[in-house]
Amino acid sequence: MRTGIRDGCLRMSWPEALRATAEIGFDGVELDIGDDYRETLLWTQGPGAVADLIDETGGALLSFCAGACWQISPASPDASVRAEIHQLLADLIGYSAALHAGVILVPVTPGGDEVSYEDGTARWIDEMKKLAPIAEDKGVVLALENVGRGYGKSAAELIHLVDSIGSPGVQTYYDIGNATAFGNDPVAEIQALGSRIADVHIKDRDGELLGEGVVNIPDSVKALKELGYDGDLVLETPPTDDPCAAAAHNLKYLRELL
């Protein structure tokens, strides 16, 4: 399994995060794409510029996170919003393929207070079905994450989404910290999700550093190993007052489990 960390956990720009993760010893970084995506290097200069940045910094790119889904949700009742996120994700699939980043984290976000659970879930399935052939064609996986306020908080909900979409281009991005926060057992959920897991977020709760909180990280990693999981383990941990020191500590903790 490769180990990585989100750029936001370092409170750094893309160049700084790429350089720092290489120096700390991570296998790579997960870069967030927010609702300001048009201003990022990907959209202003294209994937070639990001590839040059990776070469210049000595870093590596593991995956992208489509954080823009929190503001531009596929569950929105507004067709123009759904069209925008469709185009964003379609573009990001192409960019990911060009940069050999095989997974895009897609948080299963709500469509607004006026959207029912049933309608929101149905829209997510519909929109991902439209994107699935594009992802399949490019060899990229849209990985649906279990996040709060949305429609995929549990393994059962994620399984319903993924199995309803029915494409290898749409799998899950499992977050053991979120699962614990929702009152779910990450070990049991990992076992239930099985081969549907494309990527994993590692974080603790009620503690700044891994191992200080309440998440059963050792048994979760053990369950992944028993499953034969060989994807990435990406830290989504607090930056603390010293982001690089915290990241180095957390990486050491995780690698000892591996």
* Residue 71 CB neighbours (<10 A): 14
- Render each residue's pLDDT in the chain as its tens digit; 258 residues: 999 999 999 999 999 999 999 999 999 999 999 999 999 999 999 999 999 999 999 999 999 999 999 999 999 999 999 999 999 999 999 999 999 999 999 999 999 999 999 999 999 999 999 999 999 999 999 999 999 999 999 999 999 999 999 999 999 999 999 999 999 999 999 999 999 999 999 999 999 999 999 999 999 999 999 999 999 999 999 999 999 999 999 999 999 999
Total-model pTM: 0.98
Kindly report the backbone phi and psi dihedral angles of residue 253, in degrees, each rounded to the nearest multiple of 5, phi listed first: -60, -45
Convert 112-128 to b/e letters by CB count within 10 Å (16 or more is b): eeebeeeebbebbbebb
Domains contained in the chain, CATH given:
2-257 (3.20.20.150)
